Amino acid sequence: MESALVLALILLVVLYFYTKRPSSHYAPLPPGPKKLPLIGNLLDMPTTFEWETYDRWCKELGSDIIHLEVAGTSIVVMNSAEVAEELLDQHSAIHSDRPRLVMVNELMGWNFSFGLMAYGDEWRAQRKLFQQEFHPQAAERFQPLEVRVTHQFLNRLLEDPKNYVHHIRHLAASTILGIAYGIDVQEDNDPYVDAAERALVSLGLGIAPGVFLVESIPALKYIPEWFPGAGFKRKAREWARYSTIMRELPYVAAKKEILQGTAQPSFTSYSLEKLAEGEEDVAEQEQRVQSTAATMYTGATDSTVSVLSTFILAMLAKPEALKRAQEEIDSVVQSGEFPRFSDQERLPYVTAIVKETMRWKNVTPLGIPHASTSEDLYRGYRIPAGSIMVPNIWAILHDENTYPEPHTFKPERFIGEDGKINPAVKDPDTALFGFGRRICPGRFMAFSSIWIAVASMLAVFDISKPVDENGNVIEPTFEYIPSMACVPAPFECALKPRSAQAEDMIRSMASEHS
């Protein structure tokens, strides 16, 4: 009798809590590939060009939102602008966290970066610090530096065109180290560039999905390095050293020059100047400046290399676009001069080339995933708390309903009948730089530095497919290497000054900046 009473009470308690659970519990998960017990979709998960597989699954399932599960981890893929904007923008209060990233943040020391850290007070403080110096008006202060390093870049292309990727990387480093720290980059073997490149390579290896088991079983981070299978711990220790050097080396140099009164204006100098006027804890604030400056380098370097390499590849794919852009520049920019930022409004086709380059082969096809802090209900589907939220930016920017012939390089898609940028065509920027509270705060500076580099190259260089010793055209493969920042597979191109006057302009401007 007593056991029956206890059982009845238990059933009543279970029934009570069952009926009190949120209504979203009854909602189904978004559709997705069939899941196996315990491991879910672990065996289905792609290891390369994941965005294409996700897009194919969405089309097969007739849904622009799908759900995957990998060993208990909930993953939501958003395959359209509508879904990504509604969840990550309109529901940003609960979808702005980051996945845990045990290897990178907890073992390799990248938890200093507000691009990778969890959503919270420190993230807000660093983002606010960044935005103070890089809103559109403030970012204009750095345009003279962007012009100077671009002109130096043109001279390096003129002297050694075959090593164009190396020169693009040098341009990227010169731009961001100058903006972040006021540091001039050496031509070769620059210690700040070398330190950052080692750190960025290790970051790419550490953040690669599915490589390290510790991401699925975080408790493994506590095993000692000597334990069998703990090679990831030894790698993490070495890679953590790289991230520390990258964060500290340029900052110490910049601070030294600031104290000596020889520093060039930079994010660090502006931020420390304001810090001296504040009343908050100086050591904590200074650490925040150091971390934010290092985050800038992390986000800017590889993306610049990717976009400018893709631009060159695009000119090989569509030489008529290059000719049209050059005609536009010639009609606007006075002979013997380089394009200026003030010319941008009168060079809409050049701007269209930049937009199409960034859309055609976007740098980060899946962006950096968000994470949900609580359960959500969307379109009648349940989004579990703790879900990894993956915006398929590649699919958004290759939606044929928005961008007809999406796999073709067509800058003219952004030009209206009046010859200006057509506001009716969705700007790729709305997806390229992320969503919601995690949108890239450096997007204005990033676009401006890419624009001036592209406009300047078009003004003085012809870009064409090279020929071999037998006169045969060497065709590029148009293949890409998947990574944190996707880059074209190595390809050859012919970069030649458009005229003797163009060559003289390049040399003259380079000597002026030296």
What's the pLDDT score for residue 16?
A: 37
**How far apart, in whole angstroms, are the C-alpha atoms of residue 457 and residue 449?**
12
Structure tokens at 506: 């390049």
Domains of the chain by range and CATH? 18-513 (1.10.630.10)
**Token digits for 331?**
């009609």
Helix (H) / strand (E) containing 400: none
Which residues fall within 8 angstroms of residue 385, CB to CB, at 6 or more apart? 372, 373, 374, 375
Whether the Cβ atoms of residue 92 and residue 224 lie closer than 8 Å to each other = no
Once rounded to an integer, what is the mean pLDDT over residues 177-189? 87
Amino acid, res. 425: V
**What pLDDT is recorded for position 409?**
98
List, in order, residues 6 or more apart from 127 with CB less than 8 Å away.
114, 441
pLDDT band (50, 70, 90) for residue 15: very low
* Better-predicted residue by pLDDT, 166 or 134: 166
For residue 46, which amino acid is it? P
443-460 and 500-513 helices, crossing angle to 10°: 140
Over range 382-397, report the average pLDDT: 96
Packed helices 319-332 and 443-460: angle between N→C axes, nearest 10 degrees? 90
Looking at residue 391, the DSSP 8-state letter turns out to be E
In this structure, the number of other CB atoms found within 10 A of the CB of residue 104 comes to: 27
DSSP per position, 220-233: GGGS-TTSTT-HHH
- pLDDT (tens digit per residue) in 21-74: 444 457 999 999 999 998 888 889 888 899 999 999 999 999 999 999 988 889
* DSSP H or E segment with residue 383: strand 381-383
pLDDT tens digits along 216-273 = 789 999 999 999 988 999 999 999 999 999 999 999 999 999 999 998 999 999 998 8
Phi then psi for 494, rounded to 5 degrees?
-105, 115
* Segment 396-439, tens digit of pLDDT: 999 999 999 999 999 999 999 999 999 999 999 999 999 999 99
Phi, psi dihedrals of residue 488, rounded to the nearest 5°: -65, 145
Using alpha carbons, select from 72, 59, 68 the residue that is nearest to residue 32: 68
| Per-residue pLDDT band at 11 (split at 50, 70, 90) | very low
Which runs of E-coded beta strand occur in 15-94?
A: 65-70, 73-78
- Classified as helix, coil or strand, 377 is strand
What is the predicted pLDDT for the residue at 284?
Answer: 85
Predicted pLDDT of residue 25: 59
User: And the tokens for 498?
Assistant: 């458009």
Strand-pair partners of 78: 65, 391
Which one of 19-23, 78-82, 141-145, 180-184 scores highest in mean pLDDT?
78-82
Are the C-beta atoms of 263 and 251 separated by less than 8 Å? no
Q: Are 413 and 403 in contact (CB under 8 A)?
A: yes
Q: Check residues 149 and 135 and name the one with the higher pLDDT.
A: 149
By C-alpha distance, which of 372, 367, 365 is closest to 73? 372
Three-state secondary-structure class, residue 408: coil
Q: CA-based diameter of the chain, in Å?
A: 104
Contact in structure between 179 and 296 (CB atoms under 8 Å): yes
Q: Are strands 370-371 and 376-378 parallel, antiparallel or unpaired?
A: unpaired
Evaluate if residue 137 carries a pLDDT over 90: no
Helix (H, G, I), strand (E, B) or coil at 382: strand
Taking Cα atoms as reference points, which of 289, 263, 310 lies closest to residue 450?
Answer: 310
Average pLDDT, the chain: 89
0.85 cut: is pTM over it?
A: yes
CA dihedral (309, 340, 427, 444) in degrees, to 10, reads 90
Task: Give the model's confidence band at 278: pLDDT under 50 very low, under 70 low, under 90 confident, else very high.
Answer: low
- For the chain, what percentages of helix, strand and coil (3-state, to nearest 5) are there? 55, 10, 35
pLDDT interval class at 276 (50, 70, 90): low
Strands 388-391 and 461-464: unpaired
Report whether pLDDT(288) > 80. Answer: yes
Q: How far is CA 284 from CA 281, 290, 293, in A?
A: 6, 10, 14
Position 18 scores a pLDDT of 39
Distance CA 374, CA 386 (A): 7
Percentage of the chain with pLDDT > 70? Answer: 94
> In 3D, which of 120, 323, 113 has the Cα closest to residue 206?
113
pLDDT at 298 over 90: no
Nearest to 267 by CA among 169, 172, 177: 177
Query: 324 vs 208, 265, 342, 478, CA distance in Å?
Result: 40, 37, 20, 22
Q: Which two tokens stand for residue 424?
A: 């009716």
Confirm if 435 and 89 have CB atoms less than 8 A apart: yes
Cα→Cα distances 294→177, 243, 268, 398, Å: 9, 9, 10, 32
CA 504 remoteness from chain centre: 36
User: What pLDDT does 132 receive?
Assistant: 84
Burial class (CB in 10 A: 0-12, 13-18, 19+), 450: buried
Does 484 score more than 80 pLDDT? no
The region of weakest confidence among 173-182, 236-245, 281-290, 485-494 is 281-290
Q: Which helix (H) or strand (E) holds 317?
A: helix 282-317
Phi, psi of 346 (to 5 degrees): -90, 5
Residue in this structure with the two tokens 């403030």, named with its chain if needed: 138
Predicted pLDDT at 204:
84
